[in-house]
Amino acid sequence: MSVLLVLVPVALGIVLLAVVAYVWSARSGQFDDLVTPALRPLLDERDTDVEPQRPPAE
Amino acid sequence: MTSATAPIEIGRTGDSGAVSCRHCGLPVPPGETFCCTGCATAHAIVNDLGLSAYYRFSERRGEEVRASGRAFAEFDHDSFTTTYVRDREDGLSEVELYLEHVHCPSCVWLVEKVSLTIPGVTAAELDIGRARARVVWDRSRTPLSAVARTLDTLGYIAHPFRGGRAEEARRAEDRAALVGIGVSGAIAGNVMMIALAIYAGWFGGIEREFERYFRWWSFLLTTPSLLWPGRVFFRSAWGALRRRSLHMDVPIALALGAAFVHGAVNTVRDAGPVYFDGVAALVFLLLVGRYLQQRAQRAAIDSSELLHSLAPATARVIEGAATREVPAEAVLPGWLVEVRAGDTLPADGIVESGDSSIDLSLLTGESRPVSIGAGDTVFAGTTNMSSPLRVRVTRSGESSRLGALMRDVADSARRRSPIVRLADRLAGRFILAVLTLATLAFVIWVWRDPAQAFDNAIAMLVVTCPCALALATPLTVTGAMGKAARGGILIRGGDALEILAGTGTIVLDKTGTVTEGRMALVGWRGSDDALSLLAALEKHSRHPLAAAIAAAETSTTRRLVTKVAETIGGGIQGRVDGRQVVAGTAEYIRTQLGEPSLAVPCALAGHTEVIVAIDGTIAGVASIGDPVRAGAAEVIASLQRSGWRVELLSGDRPDVVTAVGQSLGLSAEDARGGATPEAKRDRVRELARVGPVVMVGDGVNDAPAMAGATASIGVHGGAEACLRTSDVFLSRPGLEALGELVRGARRTMTLVRAGFLASIAYNVAGASLVLAGLIDPLIAAILMPASSLSVIFLAWKGPTFAAGEPGP
């Protein structure tokens, strides 16, 4: 059972890493808009399948 | 339309005859490609930029393009730049714009792509939930007005987003709340895991040193949870105590603090119970509840900021022979301002010179421009349509009509839902009860077993923590709002739900709300064949009544129509499949048939009659009117059954309103016609003195009445600005959503009360266990999250709103 003396701190260290990552992502604004980013990949796909058909106008 | 010799096809015609507009998808007359010139222009631009992929989206605008045609010159002005534009470190500029008429995923695509085709624009991101676009561009290459004009031609009217600084602060607050929830959640999960090991040890046996090890770990983990995310409870409780008031955070802070300090002491002296798992779980659950409540209140504040953004940014002040631009906020009464065509009025005032027409849609929702001249009063926020005006300012800024409207909205946003305040009122009695019980537990146990007295007094504080009570209302109300939104009912604040769950008067606007707001064939007396002949003939007229009849014909029989002749204000005649068809007013028929004394059937109230004669004899009468929406009568009956008094209030002719009222089962005094917007407002205020009034309108002329009502409901199809300020917005046409809203509100409030009762029952049970000496940390650890979780379960799974629920 003395393995717990090692495993608990290791597990909590991993938790700490996850928490740090989460705090960083929340503070850098990744949870500010939860609707539009989900739509973007779908929109980009349509974009790429049309661009080759026509030279860019700009 | 005079004559036609070729056979006329009915329904979809050849390849050029798109039945829906090529840009927005709305139905168009046969042979037309676009529903309006706005759409045609937008279509041309989209194609020119190589963005025709837009038309492959299945979900498009469904709304015609209404470009404002403004120059957006104020967007390039220095005062605008200093107020709204941020300079970035890389030399580019950044601005946040609020865009009107953004509502679907394809809008995101179009707005972003189109902006990026403008030289100098390096980034454009649209947040569809808030209808806000962030644009990054090079000021030396492109003026911002060019970006705004391009978006305008596509129907997205840009406004500078105001309150950017408040927004910054709120964003920081939101992020802090999310960080708090995440951190406390991670800690709670791990502390509970460790607690599980301790509890398992009680039953399966655990070595003393491991129990001590786990207790120390849970102490070490809980400490940051309480000191970092959990400190908000202590801060707010302390603030309340300093103001000598009590709210829910006081008993919560007391329970958390007592349990933590007691646990810390017991950990150090290595004896007695610890409640760390309970404390960590409570901090997490309470923070979630707090965040949800905050978000619900924010929605209301957001809407008032949108109105702010719709007001103009600058004004052109005339001083002698020169004009100079000043921020709209700085305009003072008495000044003379120039308003060019296409500009928005910066302040309320009286026209000194100029004749023009004004678009009042922002204020009243009236979509038709109103013509004005010298001496007329004009209002801030309305748009000058045709020619320059000089306006003497009478009221500006906060005191203008728009300013007053914005203040109203902001005030109602600050007003908290009464049921939430009820939770705070309960807090006073609650804390008294908790402290009495804790003292009682201490006294009883000093007498029975002094060693346990202190532990039991703490246990009493912990198990009676009113966390379930604090969670019940925000969770239930937020959950109900979410479910309602999925069904197309957008609710902006909890108090609207509470009002709708009660009883009072519901005032309905007629045109567009109870009726469909367009002309249609509502009755036909005659044979089907005669109607078919009539419809074939009426297809050749552009008169609105003719269009209504033509639209009612669904058969695809081709008919040969020749020799069509139309008399303006009279009727139409022609040969259909070789038969002579004459249709029009009674007078027209008499003249055309040459029988001046011919008796014709009389009209129903509120409808226009078209009489039809075929081959010289009267073959039928078509009644045309604004049809009552399907299901309206059932919805009104169900509202009346649930205790609401329903009243119809309309600007239409009284006899029409009475007729519509009758068809809905409303008596003559409950169907009032001829009401101006002011009269509607006064009537609503008069009713509001007696009891709650809910005003239901589509924004057209209902805005003042909606502002005066206890709660306002905007229905699909009205002016956007008005609808965004209403308490509830029904995004589905028809009245079914209204019935659903009232039923859902009622169920939500029942659920809120059930949550209250459940959490109080848990507290009573916990208190009895402590007094009986049956409590220990395991029972407390089960009881407390169980009470919170059951309230959460009740709030999320309980019956409130059902998406797509069938009628009553």
Contact B49 A31 (CB under 8 A): no
Strand B693-697 with B711-715, pairing? parallel
pLDDT in tens, B74-87: 788 777 787 788 88
φ, ψ of residue B348 to 5 degrees: the values are -75, 150
B308, B310, B312, B313: CA torsion to nearest 10: 60
pLDDT digits 0-9 by tens, B700-717: 567 777 777 888 888 866
Tell me the average pLDDT across B605-630.
79
Q: Identify the pLDDT of residue B123.
A: 87
CA distances from B102 to A39, B61, B114, B158, B305 (A): 14, 8, 14, 10, 17
Pairs across A and B, CB distance < 8 A: 83
More confident residue, B251 or A6: A6
pLDDT band at B397 (very low <50, low <70, confident <90, very high): confident
- Treating both helix axes as pointing N-terminal to C-terminal, what angle do B450-463 and B418-448 enclose, rounded to 10 degrees? 170
What residue ranges in B101-254 does DSSP mark as E strands? Answer: 121-127, 132-137, 158-160
The residue assigned the tokens 């008031």 is: B245
Cβ pair A43:B213 closer than 8 A: no
Look at B609 and B500; give whichever has higher pLDDT.
Answer: B500
Q: Region B295-312: what's the mean pLDDT?
A: 61
Partners of residue A41 in chain B, C-beta under 8 Å:
none
Asked if A19 lies within 8 A of B182 by C-beta distance, the reply is: yes
Q: What is the pLDDT of residue B1?
A: 37
pLDDT for B646 equals 92
Q: Which of B250-259, B565-574, B625-634 has the lowest mean pLDDT?
A: B565-574
Q: Of B129, B174, B190, which has the smallest distance from its Cβ to A12's Cβ?
A: B190
Shortest CB distance from A39 goes to which of B49, B105, B171? B105
Q: Which of B102, B108, B167, B222 to mutate to test the interface with A (most CBs of A within 10 A)?
A: B108
Q: Which residues of B touch A36 (CB under 8 A)?
A: 108, 125-129
DSSP states of A16-53? HHHHHHHHHHHHTTTTS-SSHHHHHHHHHHHHHHHGGG
B509 is catalytic: yes
pLDDT at B261: 92
Res B323: pLDDT: 80
One-letter amino acid identity for B167?
Answer: E
Q: What is the pLDDT of residues B540-571, one digit of tens each?
A: 776 767 777 877 776 666 777 778 777 776 78
Residue B231 CA, chain-centre distance (Å), reads 34
CA distance A17 to chain B (A): 11
Residue B215 has pLDDT above 90, yes or no: yes
Burial of residue B686, with CB atoms counted within 10 A of its CB: 0-12 exposed, 13-18 middle, 19 or more buried? exposed
Q: Of the spans B168-172, B506-510, B576-580, which averages the highest pLDDT?
A: B506-510
- State how far the alpha carbon of B508 is from the alpha carbons of B502, B512, B558, B712, B745, in Å: 17, 10, 42, 10, 18
Among B234-243, B373-382, B723-732, the minimum mean pLDDT is found in B723-732
Q: Amino acid letter at B742?
A: V
Report the percentage of chain B scoring pLDDT > 90.
11
Q: What is the DSSP letter of B730?
A: E
- Among B209-213, B416-420, B509-513, which stretch is predicted with the lowest mean pLDDT? B416-420
> Is residue B805 predicted with pLDDT exceeding 60?
no
Q: Is the pLDDT at B431 greater than 70, yes or no?
A: yes
B599: pLDDT strictly greater than 80: no
Q: Ramachandran region of residue B666, left (φ > 0), alpha (ψ -120 to 50) or beta? A: beta
B13-45, pLDDT tens digit by residue? 334 445 677 777 777 767 777 777 778 888 888
Closest chain B CA to residue A58: B117
Which of B337, B342, B411 minimizes the C-alpha distance to B67? Answer: B342
Confidence of residue B214 (pLDDT cuts 50, 70, 90): very high
CA atoms of B76 and B540, how far apart (whole Å)? 50
pLDDT value at residue B409: 54
Question: What is the reported pLDDT for B724?
Answer: 58
| pLDDT grade for B163, boundaries at 50, 70 and 90 | low
Helix (H) or strand (E) run with residue B671 in it? strand B671-672
B178 has a chain A CB within 8 A of its CB: yes
pLDDT of residue A50: 43
Mean pLDDT, rounded, for B306-322: 73
CB-based burial label for A23 (10 Å; 0-12, 13-18, 19+) = middle
| Minimum-distance CB partner of B117 among A27, A40, A58 | A58
Q: Quick one: pLDDT band at residue B296, thresholds 50, 70, 90? A: low
The answer to whether B119 and B93 are in contact (CB under 8 A) is: no
Higher pLDDT, residue B172 or A24: A24
pLDDT at B155 over 50: yes
Question: Is B128 in Cβ contact with A35 (below 8 Å)?
Answer: yes
More confident residue, B543 or A30: A30
Among chain B residues, the shortest Cα distance to A50 is held by B53
Tokens of B783: 């009881």
Please state whether B365 falls in left (phi above 0), alpha (psi between -120 and 50) or beta: left
- Output the average pLDDT for chain B: 79
Contact between chains at B109 and A46 (C-beta distance less than 8 A): yes
Q: For B49, which of A33, A42, A57 is closest by C-beta distance?
A: A57
**pLDDT recorded at residue B317:** 86
Distance CA B143, CA B323 (A): 22
Chain A residues with beta carbon closer than 8 angstroms to that of B210:
1, 4
DSSP code, position B522: E
Within 91-130 of B, beta carbons closer than 8 Å to A belong to 105-106, 108-109, 113, 117, 119, 125-130
Whether B460 shows a pLDDT value over 70: the answer reads yes
Selected for mutation to probe chain B from A6, A32, A48 (highest B CB count within 10 Å) is A32
Q: What is the pLDDT of residue B392?
A: 92
- Determine the average pLDDT of the residues in A5-16: 94
Q: Do A50 and B105 touch (CB under 8 A)?
A: no
- Arithmetic mean of pLDDT, B784-808: 71
Question: Which of A1, A31, A42 lies at the smallest CB-CB distance from B210?
Answer: A1
Give the tokens for residue B191: 């502390």
Tokens at B236, concatenated: 């707010």
Contacts of B205 in chain A (CB under 8 A): none
Q: Do B182 and A32 touch (CB under 8 A)?
A: no
pLDDT at B187: 95
pLDDT at B797 over 60: yes
Chain A, nearest residue to B187 by Cα: A15
Contact: A12, B52; criterion CB under 8 Å: no
Nearest-Cα distance to chain B for A13, in Å, is: 12
* CB nearest to B108's CB, from A18, A43, A58: A43
pLDDT tens profile B88-104? 888 888 888 888 777 67
Tell me which of B424, B455, B509, B626 is the catalytic residue: B509
State the pLDDT confidence band at B491, using cuts at 50, 70 and 90.
confident
pLDDT at residue B188, rounded to an integer: 93
Bigger pLDDT: B372 or B420? Answer: B372
Output the pLDDT for position B8: 37
* B446 pLDDT above the threshold of 80: yes
Contact between chains at A42 and B186 (C-beta distance less than 8 A): no
**Residue with structure tokens 């603030």?**
B239
Contact of B174 with chain A, judged by CB distance below 8 Å, is answered with yes
Whether pLDDT at A19 is above 80: yes
Residue with the bigger pLDDT between B156 and B604: it is B156
How far does A54 lie from chain B, in Å, by closest CA? 7
pLDDT greater at residue B143 or residue B626? B143
> B799 pLDDT exceeds 60?
yes
Over pLDDT 70: what percentage of chain B? Answer: 83
Show the tokens assigned to B678. Answer: 């002011």
Amino acid at B255: A
Residue B783's pLDDT is 79
Question: What is the average per-residue pLDDT within B525-551?
Answer: 78
Closest CB to B179: pick one of A23, A39, A55: A23
Chain A: residues touching B (Cβ < 8 Å)? 1, 4-5, 8, 11-12, 15, 18-19, 22-23, 26-27, 29, 31-36, 39-40, 42-43, 46-47, 49-51, 54-58
- Examine the pLDDT at B752 and tell me if it is beyond 80: yes
Residue B645 pLDDT: 92
- Token representation of residue B690: 């007696």
Among candidate residues B548, B621, B623, the one with its CA nearest the CA of residue B589 = B621
Res A48: pLDDT = 44
Arithmetic mean of pLDDT, B740-750: 90
**Residue B223 pLDDT > 90:** yes
- Strand B322-327's sheet: what is its strand order? B322-327, B314-319, B336-339, B389-395, B348-353, B377-378
